[in-house]
Structure 1
């Protein structure tokens, strides 16, 4: 397959009238799949009403078909076509955070969306992205678009068009390059279908921000109990993993240093994931700074880029510092734990 690659300046107005956006929208209307930028990561979009289009998404990514997809919309009124009702908590969250990195779980209407998009569940995950190119495409095609991250399943999510091209060139109809994403980790997913809302996946909107709007929310026990079955898109299987095995290190710098020295003595090429504050403090073969510990939003925005950079560096093993498990740190640690396959070395 010849993958079309369009570049779009996301700072200009009337993007929905641009030829690149119009062509990408036509591809989507024809049930082809197109990668589009959002404020979190690049998504691999396809018509959520079409089994054919959704099937192409799973095929391109190599994603298990029992893993549901998030539906992207440009207008809240689109919900009426495939959602049974909008709970008060969901309406409040939509008012506060849409467009933005928050995905809300609703009870779905039958016979509207592709069953493949929702993995046969009675619920559907929906968000309105806060990115001018994504919104322009959604407005232009006037379709609900299913869009998981536009990467090979299990690998670090893409935050640039070049990442998508690296993973999916020849596997998708088109890539709409609208520049680097901002948030850098996927959206927060919250289930508003019953009782107290439950955060199924931490992301760009923190638990504290959500509670400031709707009051008490709970965290899904599957986030910490590996025996529980996750209900959120993107949480069922190992994700975000670099090529080399990644280990999280719960301990002092001296402990991490000893791990590095041990593996270097074995002849391995060792990588360390740290922050700008500590980038000169380690003697590993490759030391990469992932933002500033003093500003965890910078860590989130650079996380996937840093994991991909270890692939380019050709390391054999990676040790990563850990981060506070609060605020956006919850999303960072969730992604790192998934990338490491929950491998943690404790001092």
Structure 2
């Protein structure tokens, strides 16, 4: 795609107004959410959505998440009823995406859903994301603002490193607080389609047991090789082999540590930033074992995809 000049915007009134203008003109704007930085385009504008795929190099069969400012706005595009409505009222705004049937007359580009009859939708809690969505006044399709399959961005610098010259602007509001993509839940049956920034246990405490995702791609982030650095990644390593750098967890010697205290929330927030730093060292990455509970399930999901054979 032709190289364009990417503007770095402050998260103030002028920056929000420029982001609104660019989105309205069919441009692409990266903005922070509580999970990761998103790459936003008008979800009703097929050309803008196509540019998202082009900028990321994203396979067209991988659907996008639509971001809206509140539950009422979500109801314009998706049928959120029953358990999905309960979860929305309990966890929105926040790091939860719901996959629900599309409503008639939704007006969204078919590229957003990758031809499916369902829509992945969420209400982010980050104040800058809320400002952008309310100023724009329409649905914003926003996958993570990184080249497809690469490490997700938790700072504006990560976005610029991967997409400078491919997007119109980046709103820089510092580091994301959650640091993992949103958890995705679908219905019929109620199922965990992607673990993420909201723990499965918290969802099941409200909605009951969740089924597991099947093999087909029905939501973002389900491709086997995803969130991948350039370096080879080796999991469940208690120490680094010769020539490797070690990503630790808990009290251990390592090149970088997700959380010396063994705190999974801290580890989730650090995951992508630490992977970016280790990848820049140009050596294979060994990763210490992570407990597979709470947010550890989401962390391990991302690490398994990062370590998967590249297609």
TM above 0.5, yes or no, is: yes
Contact 1:35 1:45 in 2 (8 A): yes
Q: 1:5 maps to what in 2?
A: 8
Q: Displacement, 1:123?
A: 0.2
What per-residue deviation string (whole Å, max 9, x for no partner) do you get for residues 189-247 of structure 1? Answer: 0002x24x101000111111001112222222x4xxxxx22322121251111111001
The answer to whether the aligner puts 1:242 opposite 2:229 as a matched pair is: yes
Contact 2:279 2:285 in 1 (8 A): no
Q: Displacement, 1:82?
A: 1.8
Q: Per the alignment, in what secondary structure is the counterpart of residue 76 of structure 2?
A: helix
Aligned mates of 2:136, 2:83 — CA distance in 1: 29
Contact 2:224 2:308 in 1 (8 A): no
Aligned mates of 1:275, 1:105 — CA distance in 2: 33
Q: Displacement, 1:342?
A: 6.7
Q: 1:321 maps to what in 2?
A: 288
Q: 1:225 maps to what in 2?
A: none
Aligned mates of 1:21, 1:168 — CA distance in 2: 20
Larger Rg: 1
Aligned residues: 306
Give the one of 77, 83, 106 matched to 1:89. Answer: 83
Aligned mates of 1:186, 1:337 — CA distance in 2: 15
What per-residue deviation string (whole Å, max 9, x for no partner) do you get for residues 166-191 of structure 1? Answer: 11111001100111001110000000
Q: 2:96 maps to what in 1?
A: 102
The answer to whether the aligner puts 1:24 opposite 2:16 as a matched pair is: no
Q: 2:249 maps to what in 1?
A: 275
Q: Displacement, 1:324?
A: 1.4
Aligned mates of 2:308, 2:62 — CA distance in 1: 18
Q: 1:76 maps to what in 2?
A: 71
Aligned mates of 1:56, 1:148 — CA distance in 2: 12
The answer to whether the aligner puts 1:232 opposite 2:210 as a matched pair is: no
What per-residue deviation string (whole Å, max 9, x for no partner) do you get for residues 64-118 of structure 1? Answer: 11110000000222223222x3222111111111000000011002452100011
Aligned mates of 1:86, 1:152 — CA distance in 2: 31
RMSD over aligned Cα, in angstroms?
A: 1.6
Q: Displacement, 1:24?
A: 0.4
What per-residue deviation string (whole Å, max 9, x for no partner) do you get for residues 139-191 of structure 1? Answer: 00001000000001111100000100111111001100111001110000000
Q: Displacement, 1:56?
A: 0.7
Give TM-score scaled by structure 2 length. Answer: 0.94
Q: 1:120 maps to what in 2?
A: 115
Counterparts of 1:1-347 in structure 2, within 5 Å, are 1-8=4-11, 18-83=13-78, 85-111=79-105, 112-192=107-187, 194-195=188-189, 197-220=190-213, 222=214, 228-249=215-236, 253=238, 256=239, 260=241, 264=242, 269-275=243-249, 277-279=251-253, 287-292=255-260, 294-315=262-283, 317-341=284-308
Give TM-score scaled by structure 1 length. Answer: 0.85
